[in-house]
Amino acid sequence: MEIQKQLKSHGAWIGKWTFILAATGSAVGLGNIWGFPYKAGTNGGGAFVLIYLACILMIGVPIMIGEIILGRSSGNSPINAMRRMALASNTSSSWQIIGWSGITAGILILSFYSVIAGICFNYILISATSSGAMSASDQFSEVISSPLNLLFWHTLFMVMTALIVSAGIKDGIGRMVKILMPMLGLLMIFMVVYSMINGNFSQAMSFLFAPDFSNVDANTFLQAMGQAFFSLSLGMGSIMAYGAYMPKDQNVVNTSFTVASLDTLVAVLAGLAIFPIIFAFNLEPGTGPGLVFVSMLTAFNQMTFGWLIGPLFFTLLSIAALSSSISLLEPGVAFLSEEGYLSRKMAAELLSLFIWILGFGSALSFNIWSDFNLTPGRNFLDSMDFIANQILLPLGGMLIAIFVGWFMKEQIIKDELGQINPTVFKLWKFFIRFIAPFSVAFVFVSQFF
């Protein structure tokens, strides 16, 4: 049987915290710091936050537990993990499609994620040197109108991502997240304290947390669930790939709760860092993709220590993006290198080269290709985003829930979960079998109506 062939091992992470830091690094990204506050704000504030929390608990955490079980039990990248687990459960090896769709989603997401993250890099410099003579929105237009500028920063970001992933699990990703995540935590707390003192904190609190159920409709649920999925990095194998390097003695359920809590905490803290400043400077909270760049630069231009706080803030955003981008690249690199044809370094270089070129389309969609639609009504970047986040991730997540809930051998699951409270196990089983697949199917289908 094909799976019997010897696959190359990637090594494992040592210590309790490395997996938690890496998985949290993957989860916390542009999605949290920009996406969550903005979506909470436009979807009824506190009501959205409540629904989002319910999605994290009822769909996100059960699927995350499933992904970690699949990854750790097999010790392989998502494609081989699914193949191996399907065979071990006496079912069709076609389940490996989950791995293929995940790697495809990772490639598509990273191609545009890197362009946006490149803009964050660029803003470290801009916010340090901006005199305020040019308005922040003109500044943003200038940044995105230059293909060369966008490509330069996109290139830098892709090179950094590739370097970290090619250095391997222990020396690359493991070591980097141990430095990056505490830095991110400290910067985050600093920004929140700064905003509490200098911004309009009470208005931000009521904007984010006062539940306004009058604005809640079906779309609120869709948005909250999509955000929960993307934010926890689920449905594409990132967490599965990282699970393969998780020590066997670590508790899967507790770890999943920790990662989900940290991810949610950062999203909430990001809201508490950004909105007080937006309100203090009378800026518009719901402006879309430019929000973080235009609003925050406007604020930094007017602040006494803006030249210092600005670069700190955009460094934070870049770090969050980098610890996510490495998890987007890892499943593909792990697959190519474990097959034994390519070294990890070669695999990381080749795949990054491909993603880098694909990213040109997204960079150009801000300027010379802005009128070019790849899918109906969507430019290149929006098409990548749509195919990955609205099709591949939900489908991947749903299939993972169905496989783990209905097809996977119970003994394998029990071995991975270890000593577990029988009620917790029953609850998880119920959520992964029924609640998660049906909710995802509902969301998936309703977006097309």
Q: If binding is defined by CB under 6 A, does position 112 make contact with ligand PHE?
A: no
Q: Is 352 exposed, middle or buried (0-12, 13-18, 19+ CB in 10 A)?
A: buried
> Nearest approach, Cβ of 372 to ligand PHE (angstroms)?
25
**Closer CB to ligand PHE, 77 or 233, in the complex:** 233
- Count CB atoms within 10 A of the CB of residue 377: 8
Name the DSSP class of 92: -
Per DSSP, the three-state class of 303 is coil
**Single residue of 230, 245, 279, 428 touching ligand PHE by CB under 6 A:** 230
Binding to ligand PHE (CB under 6 A) within 296-325 occurs at: 324
Of the candidate spans 225-233, 330-338, 370-378, 428-436, the one that interacts with ligand PHE by CB under 6 A turns out to be 225-233
Phi/psi for 217 (5° steps) reads -140, -170
Binding to ligand PHE (CB under 6 A) within 12-71 occurs at: 26-27, 29-32
- Count CB atoms within 10 A of the CB of residue 364: 19
**Closer CB to ligand PHE, 136 or 355, in the complex:** 355
Q: If binding is defined by CB under 6 A, does position 255 make contact with ligand PHE?
A: no
Q: 417-422 long-range contacts, Cβ below 8 Å, gap at least 24?
A: 417/65, 417/69, 417/252, 417/253, 418/251, 418/252, 420/253
> Nearest approach, Cβ of 332 to ligand PHE (angstroms)?
12
> Nearest approach, Cβ of 120 to ligand PHE (angstroms)?
12
> Nearest approach, Cβ of 31 to ligand PHE (angstroms)?
3
> Nearest approach, Cβ of 134 to ligand PHE (angstroms)?
29
**Single residue of 166, 223, 298, 327 touching ligand PHE by CB under 6 A:** 327
Tell me the C-alpha to C-alpha distance, in Å, between residue 269 and each of 190, 196, 208, 229, 329: 10, 11, 11, 19, 27
**Closer CB to ligand PHE, 30 or 303, in the complex:** 30
Total residues at the site for ligand PHE (CB under 6 A)? 15
Of the candidate spans 13-21, 232-240, 308-316, 422-430, the one that interacts with ligand PHE by CB under 6 A turns out to be 232-240
Q: If binding is defined by CB under 6 A, does position 366 make contact with ligand PHE?
A: no
Q: If binding is defined by CB under 6 A, does position 233 make contact with ligand PHE?
A: yes
> Nearest approach, Cβ of 4 to ligand PHE (angstroms)?
30
Cβ atoms 396, 63 nearer than 8 A: no
Question: Which residue lies nearest ligand PHE, judged by its C-beta?
Answer: 29
Q: Is 376 exposed, middle or buried (0-12, 13-18, 19+ CB in 10 A)?
A: exposed
Start-to-end CA span in the chain (Å) = 44
Distance CA 307, CA 300 (A): 7
> Nearest approach, Cβ of 434 to ligand PHE (angstroms)?
24
Residue 243 C-beta-side C-alpha neighbours within 13 Å: 32
Interface residues with ligand PHE (CB under 6 A)?
Answer: 26-27, 29-32, 109, 230-231, 233, 236, 238, 324, 327-328
